[in-house]
């Protein structure tokens, strides 16, 4: 198994992730007020998905995540799509991201260019399918075996695509972590698992982050761990907790600090005042290997993150 993240860390010392795909799709005029959320765009506006990917690449992202976070067999079945049609949409989502990446590289005019950006096939939690905000609680009441069975059909399709790796995002519980580790082992595909945390030390379900990360550390196909869609104020503490449990790369991509109201279907509260360049430098110093953004974080913030990440790199002294 090839670890695609390792090449970035060895070459440039860091990985810049993209921002909130759904946020950018809404900025492009897409109506995502739907149980399918960002996956709705796969049904009728793939060009908007391609444009959103391209904007994040131009902003400095080294990795873009596909529009499959909320794309499930069960979700599309509710729209009348059969299993074959759903599999086709999952593959199409990866193809759109790959084509956006390849077009970006072909248009790149910088001498030497950037490293070839990665495409991560996004896997959202069971709570994303429920579309009731339970990914921020982790209280599904399902076992790890039941969650494995739910995720397996989508995983099988995505593992056979051109995606460089799979990204399990907003993971709120230990049971879902166990299911993902087993899926990664069965598929023999590089995977990252990123957690939704309710404070600076615990997953949404109350599990200590160190416990969940330790489980990931034991599975060789899990090549990185992360924290996403969490208040940026918790990020530094969470980096420390993750680092105590694993030497693997740590990826952090917090949201804006606002809170999702599943009943009203909107973000509430005020965004945290974040100097993204400064925070990126701080998170790098704290031990993060990859930095990006999640909901309510757009291309401008990704550009600032890249600037902060680059500025925080230690100087390299040539060998004499």
Which DSSP string corresponds to 116-144?
--EEEEEE--HHHHHTSSGGGT------H
For the chain, percent of residues with pLDDT exceeding 70: 91
CATH architecture of 4-311: Alpha-Beta Barrel (3.20)
Is residue 148's pLDDT more than 70?
A: yes
Over residues 42-99, the pLDDT tens digits come to 998 899 999 999 999 999 999 999 999 999 999 999 999 999 999 999 999 999 999 9
Residue 108 — very low, low, confident or very high, per pLDDT cuts 50/70/90? confident
Residue 164 in contact with residue 4, Cβ under 8 Å?
yes
Q: Which pLDDT score is estimated for 317?
A: 32
Residue 158 in contact with residue 68, Cβ under 8 Å?
yes
Is residue 282's pLDDT more than 90?
A: yes
Q: Which pLDDT score is estimated for 260?
A: 53
Question: How does the average pLDDT of the chain come out, rounded?
Answer: 91
* Residue 17 DSSP symbol: B
Of the ranges 94-98, 193-197, 254-258, 280-284, which one carries the lowest mean pLDDT score?
A: 254-258
Is residue 173's pLDDT more than 90?
A: yes
Q: Which pLDDT score is estimated for 296?
A: 77
Over residues 240-251, the pLDDT tens digits come to 999 999 999 999
Of the ranges 61-75, 96-110, 228-242, which one carries the lowest mean pLDDT score?
A: 96-110
How confident is the model over 111-139, as a mean pLDDT? 89
Token reading at 165: 């790796």
Domain borders along the chain are 4-311
Q: Which pLDDT score is estimated for 30?
A: 85
Rounded alpha-carbon distances, angstroms, from residue 133 to 13, 40, 235, 254, 264: 35, 18, 21, 17, 11
Cβ–Cβ contacts within 10 Å for residue 141, how many? 7
Of the ranges 25-34, 73-82, 169-178, 271-280, which one carries the lowest mean pLDDT score?
A: 271-280
How confident is the model over 280-296, as a mean pLDDT? 95
Q: Distance between CA 160 and CA 260 in Å, rounded?
A: 33
Q: Which pLDDT score is estimated for 60?
A: 96
Q: Distance between CA 190 and CA 159 in Å, rounded?
A: 9
Q: Which pLDDT score is estimated for 267?
A: 55
Q: Which pLDDT score is estimated for 198?
A: 95
Q: Which pLDDT score is estimated for 37?
A: 78
């Amino acid at each position: 198994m090839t670890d695609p993240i390792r090449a970035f860390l060895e070459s440039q010392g860091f990985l810049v992730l993209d921002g909130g795909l759904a946020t950018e799709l809404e900025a492009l005029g897409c109506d995502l007020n739907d149980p399918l959320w960002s996956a709705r765009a796969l049904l009728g506006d793939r060009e908007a998905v391609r444009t959103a990917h391209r904007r994040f690449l131009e902003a400095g992202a080294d990795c873009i995540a596909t529009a499959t976070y909320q794309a499930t067999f069960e979700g599309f079945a509710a729209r009348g799509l059969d299993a074959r049609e759903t599999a086709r949409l999952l593959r199409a989502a990866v193809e759109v991201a790959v084509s956006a990446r390849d077009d970006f590289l072909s248009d790149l005019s910088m001498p030497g260019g950037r490293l070839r950006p990665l495409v991560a096939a996004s896997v959202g939690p069971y709570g994303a399918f429920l579309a009731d905000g339970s990914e921020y609680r982790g209280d599904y009441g399902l076992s790890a075996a039941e969650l494995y069975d739910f995720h397996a059909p989508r995983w099988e399709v995505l593992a056979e695509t051109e995606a460089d790796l799979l990204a399990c995002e907003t993971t709120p519980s230990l049971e879902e972590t166990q299911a993902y580790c087993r899926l990664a082992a069965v598929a023999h595909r590089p995977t990252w698992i990123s957690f939704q945390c309710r404070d600076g030390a615990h997953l949404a379900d109350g599990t200590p982050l160190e416990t969940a990360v330790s489980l990931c550390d034991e599975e060789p196909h899990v090549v990185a761990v992360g924290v996403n869609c969490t208040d940026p104020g918790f990020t530094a503490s969470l980096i420390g907790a993750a680092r105590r449990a694993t030497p693997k790369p740590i990826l952090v991509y917090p949201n804006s600090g606002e809170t999702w109201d599943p009943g009203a279907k909107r973000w509430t509260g005020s965004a945290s005042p974040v100097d993204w360049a400064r925070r990126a430098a701080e998170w790098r110093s704290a031990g993060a290997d990859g930095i990006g953004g999640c909901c309510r974080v757009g291309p401008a913030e990704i550009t600032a993150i890249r600037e902060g990440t680059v500025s925080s790199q230690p100087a390299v002294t040539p060998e004499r």
